[in-house]
């Protein structure tokens, strides 16, 4: 069984992954901004063994919270062998943006790029002590192509994909395997304003949770770097 950090675990894809991996018996350390979102769910810390289940405050824009989360997890589990990066935000910032949009652009950069970077850095020494550590990053199809006019969001996701490639390069000889999962529309709160595509036809969060579960079972020799999945046909890819 693995000892896993999951960021963004209070909702959407991160929550679905946590549900799945908890049922499979892994030790989970969940990084969330609002612990109350987990109350009265199976991820409620009051309902789980404190020796194998931890919920910690985590803000991807706060470097200190990342360090404290990693330290608390190691103190509790004595090790970390997996990170699943799910924390992320979505902003509709155009190429020709207004001056008051700069805050949105900076927030996208801090959360979508620097958050995973800093958390990985803080946990790197522990990942490196394992022979089959895993880093799974929820990137997006927007990290593979820029669609429509989502300039800042695509920028952050392209940068995140580049970061995944560097993680893979740096961690390969240490046995760290990295997978970038790149979905299109997923039926979560992030897609709630999408009206032109039925929610039932979108990729479901539970499907991505199943993919993550399978990735954790694969040997180092068979871990894919990139998994692209889309509920729509895109012939340009």
Residues with catalytic roles: 153
The answer to whether 87 touches 62, Cβ cutoff 8 Å, is: no
Which pair of tokens denotes residue 126?
């522990």
Distance of CA 64 to the CA centre of its chain: 19
Which pair of tokens denotes residue 184?
């299109």
**Structure-token match 């800042």, residue found:** 152
Q: Which residues contact 224 (CB under 8 A, 6 or more apart)?
A: 179, 215
**Structure-token match 């990170």, residue found:** 83
| Measured distance CA(8)–CA(12) in Å, rounded | 8
What b/e sequence results for 84-103 when a residue is b if at least 16 CB atoms lie within 10 Å of its CB, and e otherwise? Answer: bbbbbbbbebeeeeeeebee
How many CB atoms are closer than 10 A to CB 117?
17
């Amino acid at each position: 069984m693995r000892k896993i950090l999951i960021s963004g675990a209070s909702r959407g894809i991160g929550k679905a992954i946590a549900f799945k991996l908890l049922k499979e018996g892994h030790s989970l350390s969940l990084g969330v901004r609002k612990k109350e979102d987990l109350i009265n769910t199976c991820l409620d810390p009051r309902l789980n063994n404190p020796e194998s289940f931890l919920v910690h405050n985590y803000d991807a824009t706060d470097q200190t919270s990342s360090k404290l989360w990693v330290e608390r997890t190691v103190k509790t589990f004595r090790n970390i062998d997996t990170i699943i990066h799910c924390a992320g935000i979505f902003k509709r910032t155009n190429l020709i943006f207004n001056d008051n949009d700069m805050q949105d652009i900076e927030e996208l950069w801090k959360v979508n790029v620097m958050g995973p970077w800093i958390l990985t850095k803080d946990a790197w020494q522990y990942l490196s002590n394992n022979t089959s550590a895993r880093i799974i990053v929820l990137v997006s199809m927007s990290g593979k192509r820029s669609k429509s006019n989502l300039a800042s969001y695509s920028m952050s996701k392209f940068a995140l994909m580049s970061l995944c490639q560097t993680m893979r390069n740096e961690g390969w000889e240490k046995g760290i395997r990295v997978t970038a999962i790149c979905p299109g529309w997923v039926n979560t709160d992030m897609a709630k304003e999408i009206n032109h595509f039925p929610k039932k036809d979108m990729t479901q969060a539970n499907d991505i949770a199943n993919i993550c579960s399978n990735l954790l079972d694969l040997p180092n020799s068979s871990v894919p770097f990139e998994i692209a999945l889309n509920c729509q046909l895109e012939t340009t890819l």
